[in-house]
Structure 1
Amino acid sequence: MSKKIQSQIHKQHSIAIASLLALAGMWTPAGAQEPPPYWSLPVEKLTVFSAPRSSKATAEMIAIPAGRYQIGRDDGAKSQRPKHQVPLNSFRIDRTEVTNAQFAEFLNALKLPVRGNFDAGGISRKNADDRTARLLSDAAGSRSYPIIELDDDEARIVLRDGRFVPAPGHENRPVTETTWAGARAYCIWRGGDLPTEVQWEAAARGVDDRLYPWGNTEPNEKRAFTSGRTGATTDVGLLKAGASPFGVLDMAGSLAEWTKSLSKPYPYLPDDGREDVNVQGERVTRGGDYVYDRNAAKLTVSFRNGYSKAPYDGHRHIGLRCVS
Structure 2
Amino acid sequence: MATPMRRRWSLLSLLLLLSCQDITSGSTPTTSEITQAICEAHAGFTFVGGGEFIAGSDRTERDYAYRISAEGFADNPEDVAAAEAGYLRRGWFERESVRQTVNLSSFCMGKNLITNADYQAFVQATGHRSPGISAEEYQEQGFLVHDYGEVVPYLWQEEQYPVGEDNYPVVLVSYEDVVTYAEWRSGQDGVRYRLPTRWEWEKAARGTDGHYFPWGSEWRDDGTNWAKHGPYGTSEVGAYPLSQSSYGIEDMAGNVFEYTSTLTRGESKVVLKGCSWDDYPGFCRAAYQHDRPVDSRHILFGFRLVLESS
TM-score tier by shorter-chain length is 0.5 to 0.7
1:316 corresponds to which residue?
A: 299
Deviation sequence 1:60-115 (CA, Å, 0-9, x none)? 11111111122101223332242112221111111121111111111112146xxx
SS in 2 for 1:78: coil
Amino acid at match of 1:87: N
CA distance in 2 between counterparts of 1:258 and 1:248 reads: 16
User: Which structure exhibits the higher relative contact order, with contacts defined as CA atoms closer than 8 Å and separated by 6 or more residues?
Assistant: 2
Amino acid at match of 2:304: R
CA distance in 2 between counterparts of 1:69 and 1:188 reads: 29
2:225 corresponds to which residue?
A: 225
Q: How does 1:247-266 map to 2 (within 5 A)?
A: 247-263=248-264
1:188 corresponds to which residue?
A: 183
Judging changes above 3 Å, is the alpha-carbon distance between structure 1 residues 66 and 104 closer, same or farther for their aligned structure 2 residues?
same
Deviation sequence 1:248-292 (CA, Å, 0-9, x none)? 11111100011111247xxxxxxxxxxxxxx6421111111111x
**Could you tell me which of 285, 290, 301 is aligned with 2:277?**
290
**Could you tell me which of 102, 107, 114 is aligned with 2:123?**
107
- The answer on 1:96 being equivalent to 2:112 is yes
CA distance in 2 between counterparts of 1:237 and 1:82 reads: 30
SS in 2 for 1:157: coil
Give ranges in structure 2 of 5+ residues lacking alignment: 1-41, 63-92, 142-150, 187-192
Deviation sequence 1:110-163 (CA, Å, 0-9, x none)? 146xxxxxxxxxxxxxxxxxxx79x97559959x99xxxxxx52435333xxxx
- The answer on 1:174 being equivalent to 2:166 is no
CA distance in 2 between counterparts of 1:194 and 1:157 reads: 23
- The answer on 1:301 being equivalent to 2:286 is yes
Q: CA RMSD in A?
A: 3.0
Deviation sequence 1:143-199 (CA, Å, 0-9, x none)? x99xxxxxx52435333xxxx233211111111100011012112322201111001
SS in 2 for 1:254: coil
**Structure (1/2) with the larger helix percentage:** 2
CA distance in 1 between counterparts of 2:242 and 2:156 reads: 29
CA contact (8 A) 2:132 2:156 kept: no
Deviation sequence 1:298-321 (CA, Å, 0-9, x none)? 110100126xx2221210101111
Q: TM-score normalized by structure 1?
A: 0.61
**Identity in percent:** 24
CA distance in 1 between counterparts of 2:45 and 2:102 reads: 22
CA distance in 2 between counterparts of 1:176 and 1:182 reads: 11
- The answer on 1:62 being equivalent to 2:46 is yes
CA contact (8 A) 2:132 2:154 kept: no
CA contact (8 A) 2:234 2:255 kept: yes
Judging changes above 3 Å, is the alpha-carbon distance between structure 1 residues 263 and 297 closer, same or farther for their aligned structure 2 residues?
farther
Give 1:239 deviation, angstroms.
Answer: 1.1
